[in-house]
């Protein structure tokens, strides 16, 4: 905004996938695998998710030692179109094993799940750009790190092809690409 004082910014936050045309959005930031091939995308950084819980939750329920131990824990779960995030993959004895989350709380909002996790309500698989600072601050503990599977997903800026050459779009996407947004 300092470099372009005449540009008006409107920020809309949602964990759902916005329709760029219907919602009149110039640039959207998407996490995960991109499915709409009609959009132009620019990868901003890799996306990794970590299994975490609050120290108070671990003190009360114990830390799972293997992925199978998660069956005795309360998962914080995604609702609706993000339900696929309730399937957690682990590396067990050289093979990928996927578990389906089961818990007593669902939300379509990631920040709500994050807040409940830090409050000790359950275990969640959290994007590392939120998990790592909370781990450093002692609000969360990493779980099952030895079983971690590397995600092949990213955080990307997406926009309509016909808007690619607009100076405001190019400038904003270039700015996003130049900033360390994912740590």
- pLDDT tens track for 39-63: 988 988 888 899 999 999 999 999 9
Distance between CA 124 and CA 103 in Å, rounded? 10
Domain 1-46+152-183 sits in CATH at: 3.40.190.10
Give the residue-averaged pLDDT of 9-32.
Answer: 84
Q: What is the pLDDT of residue 107?
A: 93
Domain with CATH 3.40.190.10 in the chain: 1-46+152-183, 49-147
**Helix (H) and strand (E) counts for the chain?**
4, 10
Nearest to 72 by CA among 81, 64, 80: 64
Instruction: Provide the pLDDT confidence category of residue 167 given band limits of 50, 70 and 90.
Output: confident
Q: Within 13 Å and on the Cβ side, how many CA atoms surround 175?
A: 11
Nearest to 123 by CA among 137, 147, 104, 146: 104
Domain 49-147 sits in CATH at: 3.40.190.10
In the numeric block, which tokens belong to residue 11? 């920020």
For the chain, give the percent of residues with pLDDT over 90. 50
Query: Taking CA 85 as the corner, what is the angle to CA 15 and CA 18, rounded to the nearest 5 degrees?
Result: 25
Distance between CA 67 and CA 85 in Å, rounded? 16
Q: What is the pLDDT of residue 181?
A: 55
Beta strands in the chain (DSSP E): 28-32, 40-47, 49-53, 76-78, 87-92, 95-100, 105-107, 124-127, 141-142, 153-159
Nearest to 130 by CA among 32, 26, 49: 49
146 exposure class (CB count in 10 Å sphere: 0-12, 13-18, 19+): exposed
Q: What is the pLDDT of residue 86?
A: 92
């Amino acid at each position: 905004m300092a470099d372009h004082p005449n540009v008006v910014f409107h920020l809309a936050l949602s964990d759902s996938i916005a329709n760029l045309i219907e919602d009149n959005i110039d640039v959207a930031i998407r996490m995960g695998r991109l499915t709409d091939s009609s959009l132009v995308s620019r990868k901003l950084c890799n996306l990794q998710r970590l299994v975490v819980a609050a120290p108070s939750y671990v003190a009360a329920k114990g830390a799972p030692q293997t992925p199978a131990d998660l069956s005795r824990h309360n998962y914080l779960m995604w609702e609706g179109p993000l339900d696929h995030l309730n399937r957690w993959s682990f590396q067990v004895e050289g093979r990928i094993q996927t578990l389906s989350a089961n818990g007593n709380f669902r939300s379509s909002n990631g920040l709500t799940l994050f807040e409940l996790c830090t409050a000790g309500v359950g275990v969640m698989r959290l994007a590392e750009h939120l998990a790592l600072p909370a781990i450093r601050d002692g609000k969360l503990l990493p779980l099952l790190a030895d079983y971690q599977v590397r995600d092949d997903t990213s955080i990307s800026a997406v926009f309509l092809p016909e808007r690619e050459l607009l100076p405001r779009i190019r400038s904003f996407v270039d700015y996003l690409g130049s900033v360390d947004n994912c740590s």
